[in-house]
Amino acid sequence: MRELRRHARHVVGPLLGMALTGYFLYNLIEGDRGFNAWMRLSRELKAEQTNLAELRAERAALALKVANLRPEHLDPDLLDERVRAVLNFIAPGEVIIMRPRAAP
């Protein structure tokens, strides 16, 4: 029994050290803030930055349209386009060619 205790004393320390090292290595890779989580968040961040850039471009285009509709900067062509699209108006003397709708 004494022999077993003496050998156990030399084995327990390294086993405990290896267990702690394994625990920290596992959490380094698979943990909530580990390498895999960092890679996933990096991919999500790139996707959202791309989405943000698209939304900013769309917002800039809409802001330009709104600016062109202000009374101090009214663009007659844009106004004419919107009137025709929304109210289905035509100018006098225009010829309209009706095309059949394509089958879905």
pTM of the entire predicted model: 0.51
| pLDDT given at position 49 | 98
Q: Is pLDDT larger for residue 99 or for residue 40?
A: 40
> Model confidence at 88, in pLDDT bands (50, 70, 90)?
confident
* Helix, strand or coil, per DSSP, at residue 39: helix
Query: What are the tens digits of pLDDT across the range 54-69?
Result: 999 999 999 988 887 7
Residue tagged 């029994």 (tokens): 1
Task: Output 43-49 pairs: Cβ under 8 A, ≥24 positions apart.
Answer: none
